[in-house]
Amino acid sequence: MLVEDCWVEWAHCLREIRSQINPKSYEQWFARTEATFVNANTIRIVVADTICADWLRKHYQTMVEDIVFDTTQKKTAIEFMPYVEKTIKNDLSQDLFGSIISEDKLSPEIKKTPPKETNRRSNYTFDNFVVGDTNRMAFSSAYTIAGNNSQTTYNPLFIFGGPGLGKTHLLRAIENRVSFEHIEKRVMYVTAEEYMRRFIEAIQDRSTKAFKKLFREIDILLVDDVQFLLKGEQTQNEFFHTFNALHEKNCKVVLTCDRSPDKIEDIEERLRSRFKWGLVTSIEQPDLITRIAIINSKAESLNLDLEQDTVALIANHAASNVREIEGVLTSLTAHVAIHQNNIGTDTVNSVLRQRGRVTYGMRDISNIQLAVSESTGIPVALMVSRSRKQEVVHARYLAIYLAHTITKDTYATIGSQFGGRDHSTVLYAIQSISKRLKLDPILKKTVGSLLNQLDS
């Protein structure tokens, strides 16, 4: 059977599977699977990750084998394999005796397997990564490495930052871009945990030779969460040699970590120093403007219709990381599906509260921004932007003045909610409005009515 036939057969089987299980399960476990040909009696189904593979083996193995039998009229063994393993198998093609078949001995079917859309970690691309001040450097260095630019001088690239800030997203984006634009390059994504697990398995199976060869023969190695490359001397030692082998050949290594190299405990000094050889860059919590951009982008891909005031409300409260923002948007999507109505600030407030984000009712800074936005016609996103347009500056100062007057927030907190402005800007805004209030009766009236409105 050719690879292409295998895809066609699998597409037929998927149709049958879809008719037999509920749509959610189908979407979760089968929608992004892909079949590859192994031999006349076996088909390998490539799935997103190890968890997915385990789940399918446990819950759907027999059902899938029956469906494949019904569809092809042939008894076929089904193997569920996570994506990485597939890459390894293709790269390695270990024969049963543990030796390694070189690339030109690969079966033509495997070699010719064209990249397919289903292989793509479609959720993680450079296109859907929103760039802002806090992640620009990490983004562009990752992007450059993915661009197959052998002139790139830094190696390794070490990206560090807290959870949910896009480190894995960037690694997967590199993997995607390389495997689709530079198919000749071998790129491998692996978590540090997976690397250790594989190494330990290799020791147990006495296949460390194959393990070493595999990891030293790739062009771009992406290792996620290296903080987990803990102790276990042997693993660190092996990683050290892998790193050296790749580095010597100018093969790129990209590492992510939840902290800077200096702060990783339990790591051998020689590894730490290598982590710092190239470019070390961090991803910080996204600032307000970036959060707004992220929310808009994610809402669009979720087909979620959000008014700018609700976007601002979410951006002001779901501020810790992007995963939190995604959580809020998922809850809102569920809300729309259940209640079939539009999303207003009430809904957002209740979702935020359910997620432990306290909103303070009308006296909250984001509500002040909304009220000023309604009164002046200047959108909140502009109010917190860098715009120096006179009317925008006026709205911004007015909102800062009100925030200072009716919340107990410090200048620093107020500044942070207005696009990361510093203490002196906040002070200047307050003084400027205070001065003008004495001279401008219309402004006085506006402030009075806003204070009334917000005092509920």
Binding site for ligand ADP (CB under 6 A): 124, 128-130, 135, 161, 163-169, 294, 322-323, 326
CB of 135 to ligand ADP, least distance (A): 5
CB of 143 to ligand ADP, least distance (A): 13
Q: Name which of 168 and 376 has its Cβ closer to Mg ion.
A: 168
Q: Which does 169 bind (CB under 5 to 8 A by kind): ligand ADP, Mg ion, none?
A: ligand ADP
User: What tokens were used for 327?
Assistant: 């959580």
User: What tokens were used for 412?
Assistant: 């620093």
Q: Which does 166 bind (CB under 5 to 8 A by kind): ligand ADP, Mg ion, none?
A: ligand ADP
Find the helix packing angle between 441-454 and 423-439, rounded to 10°: 120
* CA–CA separation, 322 and 130 (whole Å): 10
CA distances in angstroms from 137 to 227, 243, 279, listed in the order given:
21, 23, 10
CB of 384 to ligand ADP, least distance (A): 18
* CA–CA separation, 119 and 33 (whole Å): 8
Say which amino acid occupies 311: V
CB of 168 to ligand ADP, least distance (A): 3
Query: Is 168 among the residues that bind Mg ion (CB under 5 A)?
Result: yes
Q: Which residues pair with 34 in a beta bridge?
A: 46
Q: Name which of 109 and 258 has its Cβ closer to Mg ion.
A: 258
Q: Name which of 357 and 396 has its Cβ closer to ligand ADP.
A: 357
Q: Name which of 160 and 239 has its Cβ closer to Mg ion.
A: 160
Radius of gyration of the chain (CA): 27
The answer to whether the bond into 156 is cis (omega within 30° of 0) is: yes
Asked whether 403 and 365 are in contact (CB, 8 A), the reply is yes
Using the contact rule CB under 5 A, the part of the chain among 161-169, 283-291, 340-348, 446-454 near Mg ion is 161-169
> Which of 182, 109, 114, 117 shows the shortest CA–CA distance to 148?
182
* CA–CA separation, 79 and 47 (whole Å): 10
Q: Name which of 63 and 302 has its Cβ closer to ligand ADP.
A: 302
Residue nearest to ligand ADP (CB): 166
Residue written as tokens 């490495």? 145
Q: Name which of 169 and 335 has its Cβ closer to ligand ADP.
A: 169
CB of 385 to Mg ion, least distance (A): 30
Asked whether 12 and 71 are in contact (CB, 8 A), the reply is yes
CA distances in angstroms from 256 to 156, 192, 264, listed in the order given:
10, 9, 12
Q: Name which of 163 and 344 has its Cβ closer to ligand ADP.
A: 163
Residue written as tokens 């590894």? 271
Using the contact rule CB under 5 A, the part of the chain among 41-49, 168-176, 291-299, 356-364 near Mg ion is 168-176
CB of 161 to ligand ADP, least distance (A): 6
Q: Which does 308 bind (CB under 5 to 8 A by kind): ligand ADP, Mg ion, none?
A: none
Q: Which does 415 bind (CB under 5 to 8 A by kind): Mg ion, ligand ADP, none?
A: none
CB of 124 to ligand ADP, least distance (A): 6
Binding residues (CB under 5 A) for Mg ion: these are 167-168
